[in-house]
Amino acid sequence: MPAPAVSISHLTFQYSSAPAPSLRDINLTLVPGEIALLIGPTGAGKSTLYLALIGLIPHLIRGTMAGRVSVAGMDTSEHSIAEMAQKVGIVFQDPETQLFALTVEDELAFGPENLGLPKDEIVRRIRAAATIIQLTDLLEREPARLSGGQQQTVAIGSVWSMLPEVIILDEPTSNLDPQSSQRVLALIQTLSREHGKTILIAEHNLDEVAGLVDRVFVMQQGQIVLNGTPQEIFGRPAQLHALGLAAPAATELAYALQTQGLDFGGALPLTLEQGLAAFRRLRRGTP
């Protein structure tokens, strides 16, 4: 049994200026190579959890922390943020806040430069990152003038050049149009399936990711209230409704029919393709 990529046990954190803890007794484990989805209403504590995963809590952010966070075998309390940065990378929602170099190449080089790596190593990493994000011919372009989707991929590339084992993304598609969203999600899938990285995504856009992820965590008010496979979580819309969340479109439609008595053979469809397949089966009379 391989060591978990991420292991959080009994994490509780309260900002020094807050009246109540933002995270309460969080327990979460990620297996290497899996893609996990984190959902929950705004204010549930997702951002705080992310800050704890990259080591900004407890090193930079003030507050009281209890419990243990371990990423790629390193305890965040015992390693500096810079050390953690080589194991876990984070991509934020708004590319504007994290892209500040004048060329894509400079952006990809920034992390490795900070680590003091030799120049030939940096060049190698830039080339690898540019290839993976498929922007090798845009290295001289200014990130601020790229489209939102391209900016987001540059941000992912700039994290990639640090060669982390875990990549966490905070609503990567929320500012993007549909085509760009698809590209970014396809890239994320490649990073996991072909390169074995462990990915954690926070998203509101369930229809795009439901078929992509291996596990789903539902957060509310600082706690993880649900944890399971996509089918276990999305396939039971009633429990999501109780939390003020909605399931993917295909699931909701199937569920509406299921409550009127229709039998879907135990598993509600999660994606459009699964939805079509399910309805075809109904037509043929096979559950």
Partner 1 sequence: MPVIDIEYHPADTPVHRLHPFTKLAFELAVFIIAAVFNQPLYLLALIAVDLALIALARVPLHKFRYMRVVAYVVLFLMFTQAIWFTSFGDFGGRSDFEWRTLFHLWPAWAPGGPRVPIVFEGALYGFSLGLRLVAISLAFPLLIMATHPGDLVTALAGVRVGRWRIPPNLIFVFTSALRYVPTVSREFDHTIDAQRSRGVEFEGGNIFTQVRAAMPLFVPVLTSSLIRAQDLTIALETRAFGAVDQRTFLREVNFRRRDAVVCLLLVVVTAACVIASWQFGYGLLPYTPGRGS
Partner 2 sequence: MSAELILEARDLVHTYAGGHTALRGISLGIRPGEFVAFVGANGSGKTTLMKHFNGLLKPTQGQFLVSGRDTRKTTVSRLAQTIGFVFQNPDHQIFCYSVWEETLFGLQQQKLPPAEAQARAARALEMVGLADRRDRHPRELSRGQRQRLATASVLAMETPVLVLDEPTTGQDFTARRQIMSLAVDLHQRGRTIIMVTHDMALVAEYATRAIVLHAGQVAQDAAPADIFLQPELLARTGLRLPPLLELAQALRAEGWPVEGHTVAALAQSLQAALPAAPWTSPGAASAPPPSESHARH
Which residue ranges make up the site for partner 2 (CB under 8 A)?
41-43, 93, 147-148, 171, 174-175, 177-179, 204, 207, 237-238, 241, 244-250, 252-253, 255-263, 272, 275-276, 279-280, 282-283, 285, 287
Nearer of residues 135 and 162 to partner 1, judged by Cβ: 162
Nearer of residues 82 and 262 to partner 2, judged by Cβ: 262
C-alpha 155 chain-centroid distance: 14
Q: Is 129:207 a contact under the CB 8 Å cutoff?
A: no
* Binds 234: which of partner 1, partner 2, none (CB < 5-8 Å by kind): none
Run of H or E including 125: helix 119-132
Q: What's the maximum distance between 2 C-alpha atoms anywhere in the chain?
A: 66
Nearer of residues 160 and 264 to partner 2, judged by Cβ: 264
* Binds 260: which of partner 1, partner 2, none (CB < 5-8 Å by kind): partner 2
Nearest to 253 by CA among 230, 237, 266, 233: 237
* Binds 177: which of partner 1, partner 2, none (CB < 5-8 Å by kind): partner 2
Using alpha carbons, list the distances in angstroms from residue 36 to 49, 215, 283: 14, 5, 34
Q: Is 103 exposed, middle or buried (0-12, 13-18, 19+ CB in 10 A)?
A: middle
- Shortest separation between residue 112's beta carbon and partner 1, angstroms: 7
Residues binding partner 1 (CB under 8 A): 51, 54, 56, 60, 80-82, 85-86, 89-90, 92, 96-98, 100-103, 106, 109-119, 122-123, 142, 158-159, 162
- Shortest separation between residue 80's beta carbon and partner 1, angstroms: 8
Nearer of residues 46 and 125 to partner 2, judged by Cβ: 46
Across the strands, what pairs with 28? Answer: 8
Order across the sheet with 215-220: list the strands. 88-91, 166-170, 198-202, 35-39, 215-220, 223-228
